[in-house]
Chains A and B, each alone.
Chain A
Amino acid sequence: MAAIAAVTVLSLAACATDEPAAGPSGSASAATGSGTGDQSKFFVQADYDAELALLDAAPTGPADKPWEQVLNPTMVDTAKFKKAGPHKICFSNAALNNPWRQVGFKTMQAEVEAQKSRIKEFVHVDAEGKDQKQIADINDLLGKGCDALIVSPNTTATLTPAVEAACKAGLPVVVFDRGVDTKCPVTFINPIGGYGFGHVGAEFVSQKMKPGGKVLALRILPGVDVLETRWSAAKVAFDKAKVDVVGVEFTDGDPAKTKKIVDDYIQRYGTIDGVWMDAGAVAVAAVEAFQDAGKPVPPMNGEDQLDFLKIWKDKKLTAIAPTYPTYQWRTPIIAALRILDGQQVSNPWKLPQPTVTQDNLDQYLDAGMPPLHYAMCGCTDLPGYPQRWK
């Protein structure tokens, strides 16, 4: 009885699958070209084209300080915000809930310390990943006499009215990382973005793997714009290269789940010839899945987290690491101070987005730093390095 029950459950489950990308033995790939499924509804062709063009653009600004560089600058006047220092700078932070934000925030704190002659007070409020808290936080900060407000929004649409209210209060607002749907901030700082990230990884994987090989795409979760853009650019690249994408799976950014998924695919297909991922947090888990299965690690991309760079070098992987650099956390402080000086700043402030390749790997691999540190922190010249980041 129970046996029949279990088998019934199984066959029901088997019937319920309608995911074209996950279909076994290539039946799906014949129908949809390369198994990448429909394009994300977040995909905007014009933005995609613009970001890919930026990948080749030459930045202006000091070459050794990418966090001060700008791609295709369009300067805006800030004379009306000019104010005598030292200043009180306030920061409404979406969250500190992942290593990327932790490294970034430490970098920002160090930048504040480096500029301490000009900043009399730095107020940081952590919204803990909650939109409602961040709306309240921004509202509270407006009554605290801040000279400038920095916002790293938790979500785009929901935080827009709060940012607009801050602009109306008359103080200069600087937004970075994720954006808002309003032009009212003095500047919006971020690197090239998700399309650039996804494209670099996908192009590398499709070029380096054996022709006609099988690619596994690992995504953190659906529905987040910065991640959707990464995948949609990769999809375009894979479709163009006519690569057989045998699976697009969500890992929740969890190494245990990732390792299991990759292992499942190795078991199911015998071998996987390329791995693309939209964020590097689980890259090492994917590498380990191949190692533990006794298979060669295929060409893959990760991110600039040190655990991945280390295993890349130690195991001589064929890899690439597009980045979403944490040095962007320095820029808002620099921008706020320039605005309060009445200097022109670029809006938008597009930061360069370097890629770690085989050729410059050694330059970014610092064995003394912890495994979850991000190499592209631009923090080596800041006070408290390296202890602050350990």
Chain B
Amino acid sequence: MQTVQPRSLPLRLPRMRPGGVLPILAILAVLLVLVGIRQPDFLAPQSLMSFLGRSAPIILLAAGQYFVIVSGEFDLSVGSLVTAQVVVAARLIDSDPSRTWPVVLLLLAFGALVGLVNGLITTRLRVPSFITTLGMFLILVGAVYLWSDGAPKGGLSEEFRRFGRRAFEDVPLLGRVPYALLVLVVLAVAAVLLMRSDFGRTLVAVGDNPRTAELSGVRVWRTRTFAFILSGLAAAVAAILLGGYSGVSFQAGAGLEFGAITAVVLGGVALGGGRGAVVGAMLGALTLELLFALMNFYGVSGALRSTVQGGIILLAVAVSATRSSSR
């Protein structure tokens, strides 16, 4: 996508200016002020904590999507993967608490497996990831429909649901800290550390210029496949949190792939790969959720959310395209 730069990679990477997180922090700050004016109660620790807990799944999905996008690919299958996971979990657990942990492990394995398949088909069979993951999306939708006869069966145990629903009560200063928020913080730190490791640098290098990366000894297919696996794992965790939050639903993951891609783009990550920070992607998701909360406070119909998402994707990509061409 980009021409080979004369600068050497290690020098350029630590200061990725166009993919920085400052713009998204600015947007976030503006939105926070707007929310504060309209609904000051929202900024109280209690409701802020619950907002962060509710936003944890989409933030995790954005992080997962970031790995794939920064390596130069797309993952459109995450939404249907979340739905599939929730429906499978309900059927397998069938309200029996003792099956909670085995099913959690199974979901993680299932997420990783779907990521692996996406990755291998994209890298080894050279199918564009857009098509691979769109195919996976349809396969999962169809398989879930077939397996469940079109209506979810069984139920999730309270033990399973607590990850997405319960919280540490009576924490000093903060009040109620949702488990989901804790999961998010741990995984966000892990994601940042991962991006600072050799793997992270390789991932960005692969997205920036796969040819150069290949020539400098990186096994591009392996790196990209791993990115898909990370996205699948993120979808699994998101499914556990979402299923916990709202219970069995046939639409649990509907539209999440676009939410995640919007968030990543909003966070300053370049479509096509090579630029952007995982923190930016996660802040992008948070900003998007805050924007929706703000729309809610102003009484804007929820039906407009997808329109707003579409507008953001187009604008953000257009903005980043103008910036990168003048770089």
Contact = CB atoms under 8 A, between A and B. Distances in A.
Contacts of B304: 13, 16-17
B195 interface: no
B325 to A, nearest CB: 14
Given A2-B266, A5-B316, A97-B151, A17 B300 contact: yes
Interface stretch (A47-55, A79-87, A136-144, A263-271): A263-271
Contact of A10 (B39, B176, B295): B295
B155 interface: yes
Contacts of B266: 2, 6
B97 interface: no
B275 interface: no
A292 B165 contact: yes
B42 A267 contact: yes
Contacts of B302: 249, 261, 264
Contacts of B176: 294
Interface size class of A (residues with CB under 8 A): 35 or more
Interface string A242-275: 0000000110101111111101100110100000
B224 interface: no
Contacts of B251: 252, 254, 256-257
A224 interface: no
Contacts of B165: 288, 292
Contact of A267 (B250, B296, B311): B296
Interface stretch (A18-26, A181-189, A207-215): A18-26
Interface stretch (B1-9, B105-113, B211-219, B240-248): B240-248
A9 B309 CA distance: 9
Q: Interface SS of chain B: helix, strand, loop or mixed?
A: helix
Nearest to A99: B151
A291 to B, nearest CB: 9
Given A22-B301, A24-B298, A102-B151, A256 B39 contact: no
Interface size class of B (residues with CB under 8 A): 35 or more
A3 B23 contact: yes
Nearest to B267: A2
A372 interface: yes
B308 A17 contact: no
A44 interface: no
B61 interface: no
Interface string B14-39: 00000000011011001100000001
B18 to A, nearest CB: 12
B291 A371 contact: no
A285 interface: yes
B300 A14 contact: yes
B316 A2 contact: yes
A115 interface: no
A267 B246 contact: no
Interface centre among B41, B246, B287 (most CB of A within 10 A): B246
A249 B296 CA distance: 12
A3 B27 contact: yes
Interface string B295-319: 1111111111001100110011001
A220 B320 CA distance: 39
A186 B296 CA distance: 51
A288 B251 CA distance: 18
Contact of B308 (A9, A98, A256, A293): A9
A2 B95 CA distance: 46
A294 B169 CA distance: 12
B301 A17 contact: yes
Given A13-B295, A23-B299, A3 B26 contact: yes
A22 B294 CA distance: 14
Contacts of B272: none
Interface string B221-250: 000000000000000000000100111111
A3 B30 contact: yes
Contact of B54 (A97, A263, A371): A263
A267 B299 CA distance: 12
A5 to B, nearest CB: 4
Interface centre among B47, B254, B297, B298 (most CB of A within 10 A): B298
B50 interface: yes
A96 interface: yes
A257 B249 CA distance: 9
A264 B151 CA distance: 27
A284 interface: yes
B23 A2 contact: yes
Interface string A85-109: 0000000000111110110000000
Nearest to A270: B41
A1 B287 CA distance: 15
Interface in A1-45: 1-3, 5-7, 9-10, 12-14, 16-17, 19, 22-25
A98 B246 contact: no
Given A9-B308, A9-B311, 16 more contacts: A3-B30, A6-B291, A12-B311, A14-B295, A16-B304, A17-B300, A96-B149, A256-B249, A259-B246, A260-B246, A264-B296, A264-B302, A267-B47, A267-B293, A293-B50, A372-B153
**Among all A-B residue pairs, the 5 with the closest Cβ atoms:** A24-B299, A97-B150, A256-B246, A254-B251, A5-B315
Interface of A: 1-3, 5-7, 9-10, 12-14, 16-17, 19, 22-25, 95-99, 101-102, 128, 249-250, 252, 254-261, 263-264, 267-268, 270, 284-285, 288, 292-294, 307, 370-372
Interface of B: 23-24, 26-27, 30-31, 39, 41-42, 47, 50, 54, 95, 149-155, 165, 176, 242, 245-252, 254, 266, 268, 287, 291, 293-304, 307-308, 311-312, 315-316, 319
18 contacts: A5-B312, A6-B266, A9-B315, A10-B291, A13-B295, A14-B295, A16-B300, A16-B304, A96-B150, A102-B149, A254-B250, A255-B248, A255-B249, A256-B246, A259-B246, A267-B47, A307-B155, A372-B151
